[in-house]
Amino acid sequence: MMKQSSSKEPRDIREKRLRMRSMRRGTKEMDIILEGFVAMSLSNFDNGTLDEYEALLDENDQDLYQWISGQTDIPSQHTKVINLIKTYLHHKRG
């Protein structure tokens, strides 16, 4: 279930909160991946994509890593954001 953020939270505060959550995941691999991803992408997200990204941050790092690396299927509610992360990583490596 996707959590809706408070409509009273200013966009800049929400972005700062999501950046912090992205950098302090628990595993170094996900910290590195998500920190770079949000630095390049977060400010371009519409509110719906921000909601989807925030819901993704509620998942555990092991699942996130397996979805991003293609080891397991991506749950439908996370497909859009995981594919954005994969695209970011592909261009970063390219």
> Which pLDDT tens digit goes with each residue over 19-54?
999 999 989 999 999 999 999 999 999 999 999 999
* pLDDT over 50 (residue 2): no
* pLDDT over 70 (residue 6): no
- Tell me which residue has tokens 């992360």: 85
55 contacts 77 by C-beta, under 8 angstroms: yes
Give pLDDT, residue 8: 83
Q: How far apart are CA 24 and CA 6, in angstroms?
A: 22
- What's the whole-model pTM score? 0.87
Question: What is the helix (H) or strand (E) element at residue 88, kind and residue range?
Answer: helix 79-93
Token duo for residue 71: 């080891």
Backbone angles phi, psi at 20, to 5 degrees: -65, -45
Percent of the chain with pLDDT over 90: 84
